[in-house]
Amino acid sequence: MNIGRRDFLRSSAAVSALAVLPARLRAAPAINAFAPTPGAWRSFEVTTRIEIPRAAGPARAWVPLPSLATTDWIRPEGDDWTSNGSASVQRSGRARMVAVEWADASSGAAIEVRSRIATRDRAIDFTRTVTSAPLTTAERARYTAGTTLVPIDGIVGDTAQAITAGATSDVAKVHRIYEWIVANTFRDPNARGCGTGDIAAMLRSGRLGGKCADLNALFVGLARASGVPARELYGIRVAPSRFGYKSLGANGPDITKAQHCRAEVYLANVGWVPVDPADVRKVMLEESPGNLPLDEARVDAARHTLFGAWETNWIAYNDSRDITLPGSGGPPIGFLMYPQAETAAGRLDCLSPDSFKYSIATKEIAI
Same domain, 188 and 256: yes
Residue 29 clears pLDDT 60, i.e. is over it: no
CB neighbours of residue 58 within 10 Å: 17
Number of domains in the chain: 2
Same domain, 200 and 262: yes
Give the domain extent around 87.
Answer: 44-119+332-365
Same domain, 135 and 263: yes
Residue 280 clears pLDDT 80, i.e. is over it: yes
- pTM of the complete model beyond 0.75: yes
Q: What is the pLDDT of residue 286?
A: 98
> What does the alpha-carbon distance between residue 157 and residue 126 come to, in Å, rounded to a whole number?
27
Same domain, 238 and 337: no
Can the peptide bond before residue 289 be classed as cis, meaning omega within 30 degrees of 0?
Answer: yes
> What does the alpha-carbon distance between residue 290 and residue 26 come to, in Å, rounded to a whole number?
29
Q: Indicate which CATH number applies to the domain containing 247.
A: 3.10.620.30
Same domain, 198 and 337: no
Q: Which pLDDT tens digit goes with each residue over 310-346?
A: 999 999 999 999 999 999 989 999 999 999 999 999 9
Q: Establish how many alpha carbons lie within 13 A of residue 357's alpha carbon, considering only the half-sphere containing its beta carbon.
A: 12
Q: Which pLDDT tens digit goes with each residue over 179-204?
A: 999 999 999 999 999 999 999 999 99
Q: Which pLDDT tens digit goes with each residue over 147-170?
A: 999 999 999 999 999 999 999 999
Q: Indicate which CATH number applies to the domain containing 88.
A: 2.60.40
Paired residues of 361 in beta bridges: 47, 254
Share in percent of the chain as helix, strand, coil (round to 5): 25, 30, 45
Identify which of 303, 274, 309 has the alpha carbon closest to the alpha carbon of residue 287. Answer: 303
